[in-house]
Amino acid sequence: MSELNVSQDLFEESCSSQTVSSEKEWLGVSIEEFKLNTTEDYVPVKASSNHTVLFKVPVENDAFEPYPEVKVDKWDAHHVRMPHSPQSLFPVSESRLESRWPLVKAALKKDISSSKELESAIFSYNSKGSQKWSFDALHQFFSKTLDPGETKYFFKTVLPGIVELAFDIERKIPGGIPFLKKGMNRSISMSQEQAAVLLANAFLCTYPRRNSTSQNMQFPSINFNRLFQCGSLVSVQQKLKCFINYFRRVYKKRPQGVITFTRRCVKANNLPIWAENESELTKLYISHKGTIEEDGAGLLEIDFANKYIGGGVLGRGAVQEEIKFLICPELVVSRLFTECLDDNEALIVTGCERFNKYVGYGDTFTWAGNYVESKMNLDSYRRLNSVVIAIDATHFNASPSEQYKLVALNRELNKAHVGFSFGSYGNIATGNWGCGAFKGDPRFKFLIQLMAASVNKKNVAYFTFGDIKLRDDLYAMYNFIKTNKVTVGTLWHILSAYYDTNVAKKTGLSLYDYLHSTLGTEKETLMEVSDNSIDENKSPENDDDSIKTNDTSVKCQEPVEATVYSLKTDEGRKRCIETEKERWGAYQDAMAKHSNSDEKNIANRSGMNKNAPVKRKISDYFAKASNN
């Protein structure tokens, strides 16, 4: 097999060493302080009404025995329609239906030595697909992307291994797999070997029709036919390498770990009241180098998800979520049973293994070789120390400014909270969530994620993916907020007023300039109060109820009892936002009103520092109270 030596290492067993930079390119707290070595208390692998375990527990003698022991067919609206179900039928003529699974087995038992023969076999049990599918990407992969030796090796060795895995579904998955539907808090645990069996069937396109059990159920695709027909895109060819390398690994040595898929739903009455939260920001590590999956391994890794989990992993997509699913192909199994996510939901996958290395992003995505986990830290349930949290951001492509509206702010805060609140401990590894094709503002999303993490007492490792300026801007704002001891609730009030006071009024103030201005004004106001406090030594003639400014006497108003609103009510929160808007508007009006007189006062100063700021009274920044 010397002809395979030209391979990058698609069929090599060894894992080439990775170059590690000694350069320290980060700010904040060392990421090593954030890392833990266990996932022990996240989701115990114990069968219950809301946790389906596909093997017998406890596991004895390193042997995963499938559960249930006797085959139980589930062909209904609550379970995945399995390819080996007797109720999966296929039209062999206009008047006769036969069980589909024997046809699948007969087609795949034949000697298949080319992509055309593989296509023919798949079409033989997908009659409708044969009329509209075109496996051009698959054909190019074996005729041009791989060299002849690699192609021959695949059809002689790897494909028979995939087929063997697929056929094992009969004994490895004897029971039904429930759907993780909207509104559920439910988990599914399976062995890595069972995951490989399910993925082998997806590769061979054996799953019966999808989304046909109910018009209200929406699931992502699972069969690989979409990927096989994505044309000549270089990134698609590289995606196929990722999957082939995975199958090459698992058919030769079936993995013996456990994976848990958890759908998490937090009801509205359990979401934080952001306006009232008094948490200060937690610790931050931020770097323009490194990635979530490399440097953030061992933390709670955030998947910038599509609401249809996995996004375009089985299509043309090759950005953050798709790349995570490509280097950890076991994640693709979640597409089999996970209905699209709602605004208050997240999907968490515990224990998936990484099999591939990569370079590039999007169109430049390239498989970079086989990856072998160097530290196989397992919990007591045999799960790797790997937790992936999938949360989908809102798509603001049509109107990016809409993301600053209160409803959008709360949606993103709540979505991040649902994911970040998973587990009683652990820290977050994340980055520019929803800031690519979804047009999110990374400076805004950074604050949103910090707020959600801080409410849950979790530190944040943040990666800006090569953007040094963004790293510095985010860290400077983080320090500014920390220095001013701004709580999550205060920050929410400021952010919630930004859209109406800045964007809609076209003041031209950027988000961070607005934050500096607003928080700076509050600080100056406090200093002003201190400067104008009563001095026991001042002359009596100035101790009256008037304050003189620019030769105009302004009578102080008698204090009026304030109306008290509770922030726990909609009316209270509404009034709080309106007050913030009024205050900011009054400040801007006051600045405009006094700008000309300020310039004259500075010009007329003699023997004084003309660069010193003009002192203002607190009353200048607020509308005068009515005498009525």
Residue 343 annotated among the catalytic residues of the structure: no
Alpha-carbon gap, residue 550 to 129, rounded angstroms: 83
Alpha-carbon gap, residue 337 to 188, rounded angstroms: 10
Find tokens 């304030």 and name the residue. 562
Alpha-carbon gap, residue 115 to 385, rounded angstroms: 38
Find tokens 């220095």 and name the residue. 483
Residue 321 annotated among the catalytic residues of the structure: yes
Nearest Cα to Cα of residue 603 among 589, 616, 614: 614
Reduced to 3 states (helix: H, G, I; strand: E, B; else coil), residue 90 is: strand
On the CB side of 507, CA atoms within 13 Å amount to 19
Which helix (H) or strand (E) is 470 found in, with range? helix 468-483
Q: What angle do CA 221, 225, 226 make, to 5 degrees?
A: 65
- Number of C-beta neighbours around residue 38 at 10 A: 15
Question: Which one is catalytic: 119, 293, 321, 580?
Answer: 321
CA dihedral 119, 120, 121, 124 (to 10 degrees): 120
Where does residue 609 fall: left (phi above 0), alpha (psi -120 to 50 degrees), or beta otherwise? beta
Whats the size of the chain, residue-wise? 628
Alpha-carbon gap, residue 258 to 352, rounded angstroms: 8
* Distance (Å) of CA 405 to CA 277, 345, 499: 20, 21, 6
Name residues whose C-beta falls within 8 Å of residue 158's C-beta, 6 or more positions apart in sequence: 244, 247, 248, 251
Based on its alpha-carbon atoms, the radius of gyration of the chain, rounded to whole angstroms, reads: 30
Residue type, 524: E
Omega of the bond leading into 68 within 30 degrees of 0 (cis): yes
- Six-digit token string for 79: 């379970």
Cα 503 to chain center, whole Å? Answer: 27
Alpha-carbon gap, residue 61 to 98, rounded angstroms: 41
Alpha-carbon gap, residue 305 to 321, rounded angstroms: 6
Alpha-carbon gap, residue 600 to 610, rounded angstroms: 11
3-state helix, strand, coil in the chain (%, to 5): 40, 15, 45
Crossing angle, helix 511-531 and helix 468-483, to 10 degrees?
Answer: 30
Question: Which one is catalytic: 322, 330, 345, 412?
Answer: 322
Strand 258-265 relative to strand 186-191, pairing: antiparallel
Residue 147 annotated among the catalytic residues of the structure: no
Q: DSSP string of 137-205?
A: HHHHIIIIIS-HHHHHHIIIIIHHHHHHHHHTHHHH--S--B-B-TT--EEEEEEHHHHHHHHHHHHTT
Reduced to 3 states (helix: H, G, I; strand: E, B; else coil), residue 305 is: strand
Which sign, positive or negative, has the C-alpha torsion 109, 114, 120, 126? Answer: positive
Q: How far apart are the first and last CA of the chain?
A: 96
Which helix (H) or strand (E) is 497 found in, with range? helix 488-498
Q: Which runs of consecutive H residues, i.e. helices, occur in 253-376?
A: 292-295, 320-327
Are 90 and 126 contacting, i.e. CB atoms less than 8 angstroms apart? Answer: no
Catalytic residues: 303, 321-322
